[in-house]
């Protein structure tokens, strides 16, 4: 039992005032009362027959404006035809057609809404809420209907038909799965495809889009070359795009003393200050080619990841998780830049099997 | 009484405004005619007098940051070997002399007359060989389609596919290319001003550069087939336009449909 701190006398509960209900002491007296429906307010069109007439005229006018809009669209199609090779004619054609069709639809909508709001009879009705659950009889009858249907169709009894129905429903989405699988490479392992590019030992670095090989002496300090592998331009169109999407490289030259390397091996991947990095962002694969030649920073335009070319393309800002992969390069006997191998890690964004070999 | 005032020599306000306008037009017109005549004068960049004039201008306007012999100081880079093209671009677009140090020298009203710019260019070119100012024949007659492909591969990532410019890091930006003189576009490609990479003649050949200029000019002269360009900024301005006017229109219509008629 609760005890008073200063003595042994019990704490005595307050006796409620007469007429109060026990347990409702905190309920305020001015509980919210249903205010009921607001009083009916007649519209100006109900009070003033002139205004009603005007509203009706407005509705008629809008409907006819819609007719004008439709006709205008037809005339626009006839009088502003699309001429071959003339982009301005396409613009005029679509602009006037669009304006005509927009006017015709918008005017119908406005007329219909205004008709309903201002001209049609203004009566307010009340639908009372009622319990959702049906009566016992209705519910029993519903169950009965299901049983009757089952009996008449033989759904439970004819197991062969039922089995056939279920089998056909299970089978019909399967072609979609096959179609979607067909979007991925069929005869090769997608995993290997993601991990390897067209680059290999001895392949020359060539210019995008011409495929002209690049000499080391062409790349002056401060230059930026957009690079594709030798032979890419000769591939069929579809394969070309697939290969380019992985093998695109940015080639720049810095002063050799500006480049900081973490190991001798990484340093050997460059040639006299010339470095080649994958252009595919390690975040979600946008092409990173916004190169600032004084700060040596590379910016990805999609999500503002920044890479520092002077420090092995380390991420210095943004959501990218890894540095851009570096393409090991050197020069061949004729002075052209060549790759010494493929990228040593998968280019582009992460995927589930990336770390497995 | 009013009439008497006028007769006594008080001019109407319209008269003084029109007088002022005439005066302004006359001086402005004369100034324009004067500068136009000096701009058209050809300057021989190898003549000793021009180089001498350039040296004096350099000492007075540039040497504080670039050094007395253009050797560079801690406030400005060395200009030895940057060539006449670099000077013509930097001074000809108003980027130099720089107004204040910052992430990037912005283009601003040109501070020198055409002949002075050429003299400065001649002086810097006389220090060491470097890229020369391109001639008129190097700027015209390019192939628009070829230029478009080269522009999309080499330039569009920073300057936007329509040349509308774009943001870079830490306050730097790639400027808008609309309204830039072809000669300045050529010089920028050749010399790589500020943070722009340089595109030497082995990277983009003189023909390639000519094509890119042709593409930019075509873009500038032909209206967008898609109608309102909204600054050619792509999803940013187009999305903003739709969010405000498209969704705003839908909200307004919804309010109108559900409101009671008065």
Q: Tens digits of per-residue pLDDT, A276-334?
A: 999 999 999 999 999 999 999 999 999 999 999 999 999 999 999 999 999 999 999 99
Cα distance from A109 to chain B (closest Cα, Å)?
10
- Domain ranges in chain A with CATH number 2.102.10.10: 192-339
pLDDT value at residue A53: 93
C-alpha closest to that of B214 among B140, B106, B130, B107: B140
Contact criterion met (CB < 8 Å) for B261 and A295 = no
Instruction: Give the separation between CA A350 and CA A284, rounded to whole angstroms.
Output: 8
| Percentages (nearest 5) of helix, strand, coil residues in chain B | 55, 5, 40
CATH topology of domain B48-127: Cytochrome Bc1 Complex; Chain D, domain 2 (1.10.760)
pLDDT value at residue B175: 93
Query: Which chain A residues are Cβ-neighbours of B256 within 8 angstroms?
Result: 113
Tokens standing for residue B9: 């020599």
**Class in CATH terms, A192-339:** mainly beta
- The continuous run of DSSP H or E covering B81 comes out as none
Coil, strand or helix at A22: coil
Instruction: Give the separation between CA B126 and CA B115, rounded to whole angstroms.
Output: 16
Q: Considering the domain B136-222 in this protein, what is its CATH number?
A: 1.10.760.10
Asked whether the bond before A123 is cis by omega within 30 degrees of 0, the reply is no
Interface pTM (ipTM) of the complex? 0.75
Tens of pLDDT, residue by residue over A214-232, are 999 999 999 999 999 999 9
Cα distance from B194 to chain A (closest Cα, Å)?
7
Chain A residues contacting B, CB < 8 Å?
Answer: 41, 43-45, 87-88, 90-91, 95, 113, 117-118, 122, 207-209, 215, 218-220, 222-226, 252, 287, 289-295, 297, 299, 301, 304, 306, 317
Q: Where are the beta strands (DSSP E) in A190-273?
A: 205-207, 224-229, 249-253
Mean pLDDT of B246-256: 95
Listed as ranges, residues in chain A with pLDDT below 70 are 1-29, 357
pLDDT value at residue B15: 72
Bridge partners (DSSP) listed for residue A205:
A229
Q: What are phi and psi of A295, to 5 degrees?
A: -90, -10
Instruction: Tell which of B226, B236, B261 to mutate to test the A interface (max A CBs under 10 Å).
Output: B261
pLDDT value at residue B6: 47
Q: Domain-by-domain residue ranges, chain B?
A: 48-127, 136-222
pLDDT value at residue B222: 82
Cα distance from B181 to chain A (closest Cα, Å)?
23
Tokens standing for residue B51: 């180089």
Under 8 Å CB-to-CB from A162, ≥6 apart: which residues? A155, A156
Tens of pLDDT, residue by residue over B81-131, are 899 999 999 999 999 888 888 888 989 999 999 999 999 999 999 998 889
Assess whether the region B48-127 and the region B136-222 belong to the same CATH fold.
Answer: yes
Check pLDDT > 70 for residue B13: no
């Amino acid at each position: 039992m609760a005890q008073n701190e200063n003595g042994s006398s019990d704490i005595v509960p307050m006796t409620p005032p007469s007429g109060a209900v026990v347990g409702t002491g905190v309920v305020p007296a001015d509980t919210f009362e249903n205010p009921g429906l607001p009083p009916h307010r007649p519209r100006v069109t109900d009070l003033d027959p002139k205004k009603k007439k005007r509203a009706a005229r407005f509705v008629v006018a809008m409907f006819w404006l819609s007719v004008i809009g439709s006709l205008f669209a037809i005339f626009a199609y006839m009088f502003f035809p699309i001429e071959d090779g003339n982009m301005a004619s396409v613009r005029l054609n679509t602009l006037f057609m669009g304006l005509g069709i927009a006017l015709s639809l918008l005017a119908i909508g406005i007329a219909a809404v205004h008709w309903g709001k201002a001209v049609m009879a203004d009566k307010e009705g009340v639908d009372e809420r009622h319990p959702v659950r049906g009566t016992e009889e209705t519910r029993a009858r519903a169950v009965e209907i299901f049983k009757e249907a089952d009996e008449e169709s033989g759904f439970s009894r004819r197991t062969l038909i039922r089995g056939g129905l279920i089998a056909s429903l299970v089978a019909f989405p399967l072609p979609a799965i096959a179609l979607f699988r067909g979007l991925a490479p069929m005869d090769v392992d997608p995993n290997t495809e993601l991990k390897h590019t067209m680059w290999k030992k001895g392949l020359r670095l060539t210019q995008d889009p011409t495929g002209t090989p690049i000499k080391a002496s062409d790349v002056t300090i401060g230059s930026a070359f957009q690079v594709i592998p030798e032979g890419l331009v000769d591939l069929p169109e579809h394969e070309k795009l697939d290969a380019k999407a992985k093998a695109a490289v940015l080639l720049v030259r810095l002063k050799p003393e500006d480049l900081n390397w973490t190991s001798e091996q990484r340093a050997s991947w460059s040639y006299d200050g010339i470095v080649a990095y994958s252009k595919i962002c390690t975040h979600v694969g946008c092409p990173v080619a916004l190169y600032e030649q004084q700060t040596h920073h590379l910016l990805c335009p999609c999500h503002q990841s920044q890479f520092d070319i002077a420090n092995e393309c380390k991420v210095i800002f943004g959501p990218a998780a890894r540095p851009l992969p570096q393409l090991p390069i050197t020069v061949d006997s004729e002075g052209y830049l060549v790759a010494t191998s493929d990228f040593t890690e998968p280019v582009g964004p992460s995927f589930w099997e990336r770390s497995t070999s | 009484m009013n009439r008497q005032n006028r007769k006594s020599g008080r001019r109407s306000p319209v008269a003084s405004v029109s007088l002022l306008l005439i005066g302004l037009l006359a001086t402005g017109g004369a100034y324009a005619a004067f500068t136009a005549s000096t701009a058209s004068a050809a300057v021989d960049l190898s003549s000793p007098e021009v180089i001498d004039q350039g040296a004096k201008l350099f000492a007075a306007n540039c040497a504080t940051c670039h050094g007395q012999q253009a050797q560079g100081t801690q406030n400005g880079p060395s200009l030895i070997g940057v060539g006449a093209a670099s000077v013509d671009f930097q001074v000809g677009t108003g980027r130099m002399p720089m107004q204040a140090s910052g992430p990037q020298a912005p283009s601003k009203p040109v501070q020198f007359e055409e002949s002075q710019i050429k003299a400065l260019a001649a002086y810097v070119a006389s220090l060491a060989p470097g890229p020369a100012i391109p001639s008129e024949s190097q700027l015209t007659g390019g192939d628009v389609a070829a230029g478009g492909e080269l522009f999309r591969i080499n330039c569009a990532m920073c300057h936007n596919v329509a040349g509308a410019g774009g943001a870079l890091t830490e306050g730097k930006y790639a400027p808008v290319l609309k309204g830039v003189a072809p000669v300045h576009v050529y010089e920028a490609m050749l010399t790589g001003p500020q943070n722009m990479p340089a595109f030497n003649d082995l990277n983009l050949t003189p023909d390639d550069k000519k094509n890119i200029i042709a593409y930019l000019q075509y873009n500038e002269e032909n209206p967008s087939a898609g109608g309102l360009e909204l600054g050619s900024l792509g999803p940013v301005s187009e999305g903003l336009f739709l969010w405000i006017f498209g969704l705003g229109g839908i909200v307004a219509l919804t309010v109108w449909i559900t409101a009671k008629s008065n």
